[in-house]
Amino acid sequence: MLSKKKWLGEERRTEIMMVLKKRNRPIKGGELADQLNVSRQVIVQDISLLKAKNMPILATSQGYILDNTILSHQGHTQLVACYHPPERAEEELLLLVDQGVRVNDVKVEHPIYGDITANIMVSNRKEVYQFLEKMKQTKASYLSELTNGVHLHTLEANQESDLYDAIEALRQEGFLLTGETK
């Protein structure tokens, strides 16, 4: 636990980066705020300033984490196009993490805003259920609802074979977008 001293500006942002570098799992904004003796809103602003300086920080439903895929990528990634209604999101995410892959994000192409990407960062069932619970609690809509269920996911795995297995599982369950009219 950090001291209850008053952390100011750059010093606080430097400390945020040090905390994130030491962790291999997300940390909630409220927890960072408590550690640094500031409000959660100050943390949100600090994270925005750090991102503006190209710090690879991801805001996920589990909290903030450094994007280690940018810092030192050692896995295999694949962008896949998927299609399903919102009520099948849980099924899709569980299917993917059960194949040993991490779902990094969801992307949609909006007719006005262009590409919209949101971090998901789930790699196991617990994280999927936390993500879904946060969706439910906040009454948020899935990005794919903007595009009638069409969306992209960046998948990551340590083994290339896990990516192939995940893509094949998506195909077998009818989640993989094939270009045929649905």
DSSP structure string for 77-96: EEEEEEE--GGGHHHHHHHH
Is residue 180 in some structural domain? Answer: no
Q: What are phi and psi of 166, to 5 degrees?
A: -65, -45
65 within 8 A of 20, measured Cβ to Cβ: yes
Task: Please report the pLDDT score of residue 74 as a whole number.
Answer: 60
**Digit-coded pLDDT (tens) for 60-74:** 778 888 876 544 446
Task: Please report the pLDDT score of residue 63 as a whole number.
Answer: 86
Distance CA 169, CA 178 (A): 14
Is residue 85 in some structural domain? Answer: yes
Q: What is the domain extent for residue 166?
A: 75-173
Known binding-site positions for Ni(2+)? 84, 92, 151, 153
CA distances, 102 to each of 122, 125, 173 (Å): 6, 11, 18
Lowest mean pLDDT among 84-88, 159-163, 175-179: 175-179
44 within 8 A of 55, measured Cβ to Cβ: no
**CATH number reported for the structural domain that contains residue 13 in this entry:** 1.10.10.10
**Digit-coded pLDDT (tens) for 17-30:** 999 988 878 899 99
Q: Are 56 and 113 within one domain?
A: no
**Digit-coded pLDDT (tens) for 41-53:** 889 889 888 887 7
Q: Specify the pTM.
A: 0.70
Q: Are 162 and 93 within one domain?
A: yes
Known binding-site positions? 84, 92, 151, 153
